[in-house]
Every structure is written in structure tokens, then in C-alpha cells.
Amino acid sequence: MTLDKSYLEYPNRRQGMDHDLYDFSMLDRRKPVAWPNGAKMAIWVSYSLEYFPLDQPSKPFKVPGGMVTPYPDLRHYTTRDYGNRVGIQRIWKVLDKHGIKASAAVNSKVAERYPYLIDKINARGDEILGHGVDMGKVHHGGMDDAEEQALIKESLDVLRKTSGQAVTGWWSPGKSESWNTGKHLTANGVDYSCDWGNDDMPYQMNEAAGNIWAMPHGDEVWDRTIIMDKKHNEEEFCEQVEDAFTVLNGETDQYGGRVLSIILTPYIMGQHYRIKYLDQILGWIMAQDGVWSANGAEILSAFKEQA
């Protein structure tokens, strides 16, 4: 019993990261930033509008929220669709009530199938993020490069055409990327990615990642993670949002402006029995001093002005 000798060789054991996609940087050692109008906290709410095809593949991995039972999985297909029909309306009402403008990650198939949603997003003034073609088409290491380029182009072309928006932000389905995703995104006019959850502030990646900006949009304060994966209830989700706000806000005096990313899934947080808790926690946050509700592009723009 032995391992290949390469298993004990460490060609990338050196200062910094073991790859060239981005440089290492400790959050607490960076120059503080100030948000517009003296705000301490940028509140970035985003939500996803997704289409899960009944015949989606489960390889090379099952996308979060993907189909579960043998075909045809009407149970999960319709549960997801509930979010696009009913759940999102409840979330929009809560956002309206508290004056929150958000980022909407939209599969291009959703824009084609439900143009109503694009019209509503535009009417609200929410920012549209590229979110791939649909939830059956994930980007991943080892995929055909031309296929990935075609997916990115299709997604952005459809979203830009149907919405009239520039679409400068991107969130890959399942937060999955290939080695080339960043480069292809910037070649297609995308400025920032939501796929890298390794920071609490924006940072610019390297040329190997297309010099794309990584926005603090991790998988933590997300109803999918906390409610579906961790099995916490809606009140416990809101407690965690509150604690995240309190801790980040408490750091702003020393470290400058911070971003609280709150990620919502209409078929999860838009459920009837959950929505009142979302109303309560967003109401509480927006009543705090020094908060600025902004979408991803606005936060990044304010950040870059000082970078």
C-alpha cells in the first residue's frame, strides 16, 4: 500500500494562494471604505428566479434545488415554480414596504418563458444578474470550453435583450464555475461574480480569472443554506441575519463600511408561513442608523471609486 509520489509533492507550496486566480489578502488589513451619505452598512438583498427542467442531468453533480425523484419529478418541479408565481410576489411586497432595491438573478430561460417577471423587475428598479441559462446547465471544471462560452453568451444576450439592462453581474447556477468562467464573463461584458464566497468585501481577481470582481455573496446568509440545508426554521434564519448585521455593523467603526448580503429564494422564503419573519427582520435592519440599501452594481461602483 502506497500512494503515488506526487501525493507528497507540493509544487504550489509558496506564499499566497496555491493558484493564480486571485491574491491572498486579509480583510482587516485593508483600507477602510465609506459608503455614500455616511452609511456604515450596505444592505445587499438578492433573490433568484430559476427554471429547473424536469429532464435536467444530475452529472457532474446535482445542482442545489435540482430534481430529486425519478422522472418526472413533478413534486419538485412545481415546488420550484411556486416561487416564480407566488413566492416572489410576497418577497417583492416586503421589499417595497421597506424601500429595498435588490439584485435579481435570473436564468435566461425564465426571461423567455415568463417575460412578466422581467417587466416587474424593471418596474421595481431591481438589477438583473446573469444566472446562466437554466438550472440544468451548470458550469464546471472539465466542461467543453465552447459549450461554456455559448451558455454565457446565450444567457447574457437573452437577459439584455428582454430587459434592456446592461447586466454586469453574474451568479453561476449552483455557484459553480470552470477554470475559465471568469475570463469568459469579462469577455462578455460582465464586471462582477457572485460565486466566490471567501470575503466580506469586494476584491478584484487576477488576469487568470479575467480580472473580474468578486463580490461578497457567499453561501451563508442564504435561506437555501440555513433553512433547506441546515434545517433551521424561519425565526432562526432571521436571528442569524440579525447577528450578522450586528457583528458587521460593530466592525465598521474600526474597519470602515461593510456589506451584509442577504440571499433569498422565492420558493423558500416566499412561503406563506415564512414571509412575516422576513418582513420583521428587514424592517428591523432598515430602521437601524447608517444603512444603505443597494444592489451589487451600486455597491461595487461605490467601492471602486475609493479603491
Partner 1 sequence: MKPDLELYDYWPYEGRPKITWPNGAKVAFWVAPNIEFYELDPPVNPLRKAWPRPSPDVLMAASRDYGNRAGHRRVMDVMDKYNVRGSVSLNIGLIDHHPELIEEAKERDWEFFSHGIYNTRYSYEMDETQERAILEDSLESVMNATGQKLAGYLAPALTHTERTIDLLAEYGFLYSCDLFQDDMPQPINVKSGRLISMPYSLEINDIIVYNAYLGTPRRYGQMIKDQFDQLLLEGEDCGTVMCIPLHAYAVGHPHRIRGFEEALEYITGHAKEDVWVATGREIAEYYYENYYDACAADIAARKGG
List residues binding partner 1 (CB under 8 A): 1-4, 6-8, 10, 12-19, 21, 24-29, 60-61, 140-142, 172, 174-179, 195-200, 218-221, 230-232, 236, 239-241, 243-248, 260
Query: What are residue 119's phi and psi, to 5 degrees?
Result: -60, -45
Q: What letter would DSSP give residue 191?
A: -
**Cell numbers of 222, please?**
442564504
Cβ distance to partner 1 smaller for residue 81 or 234: 234
What letter would DSSP give residue 222? B
Compute the least distance from the CB of residue 72 to partner 1, in Å.
Answer: 26
Residue 227 or 275 with smaller CB distance to partner 1: 227
CB of 75 to partner 1, least distance (A): 23
In the complex, what is the shortest distance from the CB of residue 204 to partner 1, in angstroms, rounded to a whole number? 14
**Spatial contact of 11 and 261, defined as CB atoms under 8 Å apart:** no
SS3 at position 11: coil
State which residue, 41 or 111, has the beta carbon closest to partner 1: 41
Do 166 and 204 touch, CB atoms closer than 8 A? Answer: no
Fill in the amino acid letter for 168.
Answer: T
Least Å distance, CB 306 to partner 1, is 19
Q: CA 231 to CA 285: how far, in whole Å?
A: 24
Smaller CB distance to partner 1: residue 10 or 273? 10
Contact 61, 140 (CB under 8 A): yes
Nearer to partner 1, 20 or 157 (CB): 20
Shortest separation between residue 157's beta carbon and partner 1, angstroms: 24
Strand partners, 128: 104
Cα(118)–Cα(159) distance, integer angstroms: 9
- Provide, rounded to whole angstroms, the least separation between the CB of residue 179 and partner 1: 6
Nearest residue (CB) to partner 1, 111 versus 226: 226
Phi-psi region of 180 (alpha: psi -120 to 50; beta: other; left: phi over 0): alpha
